[in-house]
Structure 1
Amino acid sequence: MSALRKDSLIEGDFPLTLEDFRDIAAMLYADARIHLTDSKASLVYSRLIKRLRALNLESFADYCALLREEEAERSEMLSALTTNVTRFFRERHHFEHFSSSVLPGLLARARRGARVRLWSAGCSSGEEPYSIALTVLEQDPRAADLDIKVLATDIDPRMIARGRDGVYPEAALAEDVSTGALQRFFFKEGSARRAAGELRKMVAFRRLNLNGDWPMRGPFDIIFCRNVAIYFDDATQEALWAKFAAMLAPGGWLYIGHSERVDGPASAYLDSAGVTAYRRNAKPQGGAQ
């Protein structure tokens, strides 16, 4: 074990220097545009200390050297440092608005044969996209047979795997999901339940870096991206809002987190229309790129 260093930012089992921390922060920003200020040093230390022990490393300097060489470990670091706080129907007012003000029109279009696309961007372990699909199925139990799909994306491959598995503790599900939906759309597995049937059919999970290239073409009728942009700096947020604006169909909706606000060039294309809800206006999309 390395001795404590005079330049340590945090003096624990593995001293973390300011240089080490800023190296880690720079790599995280380069990979995911997640912005870490110096005040996050304790969080970085507590989340990465397990990786140093697992890898039998002696210092954060050694870990930084490994990160520069091993892409797989960069992915492990990303998983460790991203925050995944979620639950079914979190920030329920968005689902109420979606259900009452938006979904009836989308279902009417789908019944006429139109394509409807919904996107959960930053889906974490899957509770949000399954909540979107449950909202649709509650209004039309036959929705899975229509051309309605929910895209669920996240940068963390571990979260994507958990979402695809669709297994959640029954006690947690019972707090937010109706008894009827629980029995119809989730198979019981011990003390847990697994998403199944029409619910699973409607949701597709894909790994995606929101600040990288987007392979899908859109347009989307609804985008949920909540409590994700708060981890980005202002310039990255503005660029993300503009990309969403360009990906939304005219009249489409963007739902964001309670502490987030659309700003920058996208403000010309996304009109505030409710509590952290924005609607895409009819201006040509080219200017929002």
Structure 2
Amino acid sequence: MTLAHQRSLARPSKVLVTGEFEFSAADFNAIAEIAKAQAGIDLAESKATLVYSRLAKRLRALGLKSFAEYCDTVCQNEEERGGMIAALTTNVTRFFREPHHFEHLRKNILEPLTDQVRKGRRLRLWSAACSTGQEPYSMALTVLSVFPDAAERDIRILATDLNPHVVAHGKSGIYRKDELADVPQNMRAKWFEPVAGDSDSMRVSDTARALVSFRELNLMGSWPFKGPFDAVFCRNVVIYFDRDTQSVIWRRLSGLIEDDGALYIGHSERVSGPAVSVLKADGITSYRKKAGLRP
């Protein structure tokens, strides 16, 4: 139990949500405190109903009787802290979501580097919140459209997420056929294969999967790599953070991007803080790193 929760229990706390479980301001504040410390998530009290609906499922799964019990569990159990963060974040994704980003990647980053990469230059891309893998695989398919022989080149895509369950899904590379609706037909035919015993699903081909390395990573923690990356996708992530934390994330990301490399962000996000001085807008929610500058 957090110190804030202990203090709030010493005095009456208003009820924010009534239902199967009573959800008080003390419960909400304890959860918000943990979410901020664990993953940088900034929860306003106006989100109380959303938090309740997401976490009530966790209480039922754990057989708990109250949110006070749940707060105790989260404080004492690291695995459940991860489960709480996963429940509070939204893993909405699809193949080639925001298609202009992949078009920009192909035309402005990959194609201009064609000769250099064929002569041995390394190419590194990062999907910084990969969810269930559709984003990094869309990046891989875009790479393969320019470098069909990417397996023979020094090309790698890093895919990270703090949720181990979505990382495991991404590693499997298996998706329902209806999830492939936004994948161009020629790519589906070339880079996806049937799944034995499952006629409703397809698996990303070994060639495309080999380009992508999936890892668990909390963006609020240390980053065990140095880059530089030629392109970074960090979309619809910082919307969960307060303004100061957003600035820190943009600064850290921009420091790992290659000169003239690209950063792609969510449609409702804007770069802020020190990174503004080293990134220039280059299309819809697309930025390029200015040469020779560091945030």
Give the TM bin, normalised by the shorter chain. over 0.9
1:20 aligns with 2:27: yes
* Deviation >3 Å, runs of 4+: none
Q: What's the RMSD between the two structures over aligned residues? A: 1.3
Determine the structure 2 residue equivalent to 1:273: 282
Deviation digits for residues 156-200 of structure 1, max 9, x if unmatched? 111100100111111220x11122221222121220001122100
Q: Give the alignment partner of residue 136 of structure 2, picking from 129, 132, 135.
A: 129
1:181 aligns with 2:187: yes
Determine the structure 1 residue equivalent to 2:51: 44
* Paired residues for 1:1-289 under 5 Å: 7-173=14-180, 175-189=181-195, 190-285=199-294, 288=295
| More moved, 20-29 vs 46-55 | 46-55
Distance 2:87 2:270 in 1: 27
TM-score (norm 1): 0.94
Deviation digits for residues 73-114 of structure 1, max 9, x if unmatched? 111111111100010000001111111222112232210101
Distance 1:7 1:244 in 2: 40
Amino acid at match of 1:147: D
Q: For 1:222, what is the secondary structure of its paired residue?
A: strand
Count of residues in correspondence between the two structures: 281
Amino acid at match of 1:141: P
Contact 2:13/2:26 (<8 A) preserved: no
Q: For 1:230, what is the secondary structure of its paired residue?
A: helix
Give the C-alpha shift of residue 262 in structure 1: 0.7
Distance 1:161 1:150 in 2: 16
Give the C-alpha shift of residue 225 in structure 1: 0.6
Distance 2:115 2:27 in 1: 55
Distance 2:96 2:116 in 1: 24
Give the C-alpha shift of residue 6 in structure 1: 8.1
| More moved, 251-260 vs 103-112 | 103-112
Distance 2:119 2:69 in 1: 60
Distance 1:168 1:139 in 2: 24
Q: Which runs of 5+ in 2 are unaligned?
A: 1-11
Deviation digits for residues 44-101 of structure 1, max 9, x if unmatched? 1111111111222111011101111111111111111110001000000111111122
Give the C-alpha shift of residue 249 in structure 1: 1.0
Q: Which runs of 5+ in 1 are unaligned?
A: none
Give the C-alpha shift of residue 283 in structure 1: 3.3
Q: For 1:113, what is the secondary structure of its paired residue?
A: coil
Distance 1:270 1:214, change over 3 A: same
Identity over aligned residues, as a percent?
Answer: 49
Q: For 1:90, what is the secondary structure of its paired residue?
A: coil
Determine the structure 1 residue equivalent to 2:6: none
TM-score (norm 2): 0.92
